[in-house]
């Protein structure tokens, strides 16, 4: 499973990194969408939805993957050959995907309420917008996959993910794992 995933990523690498003239933009984006969802909503475990993300946020993440400042298989390989122009073109294109579709399935009202209290206490909306839609280099978190949000928060806490700017490290310092669980649940069911 792991190997075939990796082999797939290498094929994808060849496509994403192909010179602009020999592959259309859509062909170059196909490997991205194969995992992250054709229409902005990911159905793959721990793979984030890219729909509705601000272009500068996408650019910064792609840059961090290329420079190995953020480690996440297979993204480091995929971004390895991209030029600065590639990063800008791809991030602009991906930013046009529609915001992820939020399903009400599995919503736990008590968890959502606890998540709301924690999100307010830790000022999520101050940076991510009151509707959690993100702006500039700050990502959209409304409607994001719950497992990915939880993974990201835990990685900030453990130091595995440093962030482009360390703003999130400061936020998670005073958050408990229970806060992470509740906030991730709130955001995944955001409406």
Partner 1 sequence: MPLYLTNPAPGQIGGCQNNPSVVPSGKPGEDGMSSIRKCAVFVCAALWTSTVLGQQTPVGGPPQNQAATKLGPIVGSPIPVSADKLPVAKLKVPAGFKVEVYASGVANARSLAVSDKGTVFVGSRLVGAVHAIRIKDGKTEVKPLVSGLQRPNGVAFHKGTLYIAEISRISRIDNVEDKLGTAPKPTVINEQFPKDEQHGWKFIGIGPDEKLYVPVGAPGNVLVPDYKTHAHIRRMNLDGSGMEIIAEGQRNSVGFDWNPVTKEMYFTDNGRDWVSEDGPEDELNRVRANGKKHFGFPYCHQGNFRDPEFGWGMNCADYEPPVALLGGHGASLGMRFYTGSMFPAEYKDAAFIVRHGSWNRTNKIGGDILLAKFNPDGTVKSLEPFLTGFLQDNTYVGRPVDVAQLADGSLLLSDDFNGAVYRISYAK
Please report whether residue 166 would count as binding partner 1 according to CB under 8 A: yes
Q: Supply angle C-alpha 40, 22, 93, rounded to 5.
A: 25
Give the span between the Cα atoms of 59 and 38, in whole angstroms.
19
Please report whether residue 90 would count as binding partner 1 according to CB under 8 A: no
CA 7 to chain CA centroid, Å, is 22
Tell me which stretch binds partner 1 (CB under 8 A): 6-14, 36-44, 84-92, 140-148. Answer: 84-92
Please report whether residue 165 would count as binding partner 1 according to CB under 8 A: yes
3-state SS of the chain is: CHHHHHHHHHHHHHHHCCCCCCCCHHHHHHHHHHHHCCCCCCCCCCCCCCCCCCHHHHHHHHHHHHCCCCCCCCHHHHHCCCCHHHHHHHHHHHCCCCCCCCCCCCCCHHHHHHHHHHHHHCCHHHHHCCCCCCECCECCCCCCCHHHHHHHHHHHHHCCCCCCCCHHHHHHHCCCHHHHHHHHHHHHCCC
Size of site (CB under 8 A) for partner 1? 36
* Cβ closest to partner 1, residue 46 vs residue 113: 113
Per-residue interface string for the shown chain with partner 1, residues 93-112, x marking contact by CB under 8 A: --------------------
Please report whether residue 59 would count as binding partner 1 according to CB under 8 A: yes
Please report whether residue 162 would count as binding partner 1 according to CB under 8 A: yes
Cβ at position 158, least distance to partner 1 in Å: 12
Cβ at position 31, least distance to partner 1 in Å: 22
* Cβ closest to partner 1, residue 118 vs residue 149: 118
* Cβ closest to partner 1, residue 35 vs residue 82: 82
By CB under 8 A, the residues from 102 to 161 that bind partner 1 are 117, 120-123, 125-130, 135-138, 159
Q: Which residues lie near partner 1 (CB under 8 A)?
A: 56, 59-60, 63, 67-69, 84, 87-88, 117, 120-123, 125-130, 135-138, 159, 162-167, 169-170, 173-174
């Amino acid at each position: 499973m792991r190997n075939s995933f990796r082999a797939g990523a290498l094929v994808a690498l060849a496509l994403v990194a192909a010179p602009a003239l020999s592959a259309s933009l859509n062909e170059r984006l196909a490997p991205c969408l194969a995992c992250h969802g054709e229409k902005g909503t990911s159905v793959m475990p721990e793979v984030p939805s890219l729909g509705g993300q601000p272009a500068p946020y996408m650019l910064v993440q792609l840059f961090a993957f290329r420079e190995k400042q953020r480690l996440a298989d297979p993204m480091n390989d995929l971004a390895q050959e991209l030029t600065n122009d590639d990063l800008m073109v791809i991030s602009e294109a991906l930013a046009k995907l529609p915001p992820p579709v939020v399903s009400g399935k599995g919503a736990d009202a008590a968890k959502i309420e606890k998540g709301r209290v924690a999100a307010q206490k830790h000022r999520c909306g101050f940076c991510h917008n009151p509707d959690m839609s993100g702006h500039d280099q700050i990502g959209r978190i409304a409607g994001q996959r719950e497992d990915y949000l939880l993974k990201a928060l835990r990685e900030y806490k453990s130091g595995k993910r440093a962030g482009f700017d360390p703003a999130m490290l400061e936020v998670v310092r005073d958050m408990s794992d229970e806060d992470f669980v509740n906030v991730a649940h709130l955001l995944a069911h955001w409406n």
